[in-house]
Amino acid sequence: MEKTLTQLSEDYFKAAEDINSLIIKYRRLLNEAYDSNDYLKTYELKRKLTVFYDQKRDILDTAYALKNYYKRSEEVMSA
């Protein structure tokens, strides 16, 4: 099954929502680690959160690029 660019962008936006739910979960775990003074766990959770934020940013960049792909083409052709 072939998907349009709009459908692919929607898939990427959904993936960003999924990563956002992981971010919320791990932020909660990080707060618990802070409260328990577990510095090793705090460090580990911060590293994971950094990866999740990077992934989310990359996914959203791709989603917006796919969503606006034809708009850029139309602007170039009309100029």
Taking only the tens place, the pLDDT of each residue in 62-73 is 999 999 987 765
pLDDT at 73: 59
Cα–Cα distance measured from residue 63 to residue 1, given in angstroms and rounded to the nearest whole number: 19
pLDDT of residue 75: 59
Residue 7 is given by DSSP the state H
Containing structural domain, residue 9: 5-78
Of 26, 24, 30, 28, nearest to 43 by C-alpha is 30
CA 9/CA 16 separation, integer angstroms: 11
Number of domains present in the structure of the chain: 1
**Any idea what DSSP says for residue 13?**
H
24 band by pLDDT with thresholds 50, 70 and 90: very high
> What's the confidence (pLDDT) of residue 15?
98
